[in-house]
Amino acid sequence: MSSTIQTVSLGNCKPGFSGTIEGFTTSTDRETNGRIDQMREMGFAEGLSVEVLHQNPFGKDPIAVRVGVMTIALRRKEATLVQVQAT
């Protein structure tokens, strides 16, 4: 019996979501790849736990997420680059 890993974009998750970072969106765009590199430098890494803590009630940006033991605020546009699996 084979199982497939169901991943979703972190930018589509609502407060209360918790999961594990599985990877990042693949792109040939230099700007997008630069943003992914910045997120890695901030501490986003495969295998870490992630939880959506808060979102702005007006417009939903920014969101606050806990990655490992850090709390980070970011735009949903950047959060959509992170692929997560629900736990």
> 86, 74, 83: which is closest to 16 by C-alpha?
86
Class of domain 2-86: mainly beta
- pLDDT tens per residue, range 37-78: 999 999 999 999 999 999 988 877 899 999 999 999 999 999
46 secondary structure, DSSP code: T
Neighbour order of strands in the sheet with 18-24: 8-9, 82-86, 18-24, 49-55, 63-67, 70-74
Q: How close are the terminal C-alpha atoms of the chain, in Å?
A: 20
Query: What's the confidence (pLDDT) of residue 38?
Result: 93
pTM, rounded to two decimals: 0.87
List the chain domain ranges: 2-86
Report the C-alpha dihedral over residues 67, 68, 71, 72, rounded to 10 degrees.
-30
Looking at the DSSP assignment, which residues form a beta bridge with residue 86? 19
